[in-house]
Amino acid sequence: MAGARAAIRYAKAVLSLASDKNTTDVVNNDMKLIANTIAESKDLSDMLQSPVVSSSIKKTVILDVFKDSNEITRNLIDTLITNKRLPLLGEVALKYNILFDELTGTQIAQVTTAVPLTDDLKVKVLAKVKELTGKDVEVKSTIDESILGGFILRVGDIQYNASIANKLNKLKREFTLN
């Protein structure tokens, strides 16, 4: 819990600094790359969490992996190393992305489908979500074959379930109640 609070504080500080220097977009791209890379690489994640690996080695590895990062991002890494908080790097990056999305009025729409989302359907989903929320939306899709067909859309605290599995369950409940 304390790590989550610290990650939010670091993310807010970086966002504030990036706003002052008009580089929020560039830093957001860096943070997306950092968050995705750490999430996808178990070796990198384990290295960051390891108390056995020295801070200097961690710094060398991180700066080598993210060598094209903005100056603000590199300064964040230095600050986390100085404060012995480098294991929070992935979480700070995720929190920054969330804060950036709030700042720009962008929301994440989570779309679950039984088959991969086509570009045509993605455009329709974006239009529908913009109509419902009035905000720009970034679509993240996941595939879950158990829904059989249709889709489940989640935006913030709103969920719209148009899956075949959901409709079959409703029918099943109706027939068992009668």
Residues 15 and 95 in one domain: yes
Binning pLDDT at 50, 70 and 90, where does residue 20 land?
very high
Residues 91 and 143 in one domain: no
Residues 32 and 98 in one domain: yes
Residues 66 and 47 in one domain: yes
Closest CA to 149 of 163, 159, 167, 132: 163
Q: What's the rounded mean pLDDT across residues 63-78?
A: 91
**What backbone torsions phi and psi does residue 71 show, to the nearest 5 degrees?**
-60, -40
Residues 76 and 128 in one domain: no
Residues 14 and 83 in one domain: yes
Residues 9 and 94 in one domain: yes
Residues 56 and 138 in one domain: no
Amino acid at 41: S
Kindly state the tokens that stand for 110: 């989570």
Whichever domain contains 84, its CATH number is 1.10.520.20
Q: For residue 3, is pLDDT > 80?
A: no
Closest CA to 112 of 120, 104, 103, 121: 121
Where among 102, 136, 164 does a domain terminate?
Answer: 102
Binning pLDDT at 50, 70 and 90, where does residue 2 land?
low
pLDDT digits (tens, 9 = 90+) for 112-142: 888 888 888 788 777 777 777 777 777 888 8
Where among 76, 102, 128 does a domain terminate?
Answer: 102
Distances in whole angstroms, Cα of residue 164 to Cα of each of 52, 116, 147, 150: 50, 16, 6, 6
Domain that holds residue 146: 106-177
Residues 96 and 119 in one domain: no
- Comparing 37-46, 65-74, 140-149, the range with the smallest average pLDDT is 140-149
Q: For residue 163, is pLDDT > 60?
A: yes
The domain tally of the chain equals: 2
Mutual angle of helices 42-49 and 55-65, in 10-degree steps: 150
The pLDDT, as a whole number, for residue 29 is 93
Bridge-partner residues for 152, per DSSP? 112, 161
The pLDDT, as a whole number, for residue 16 is 93
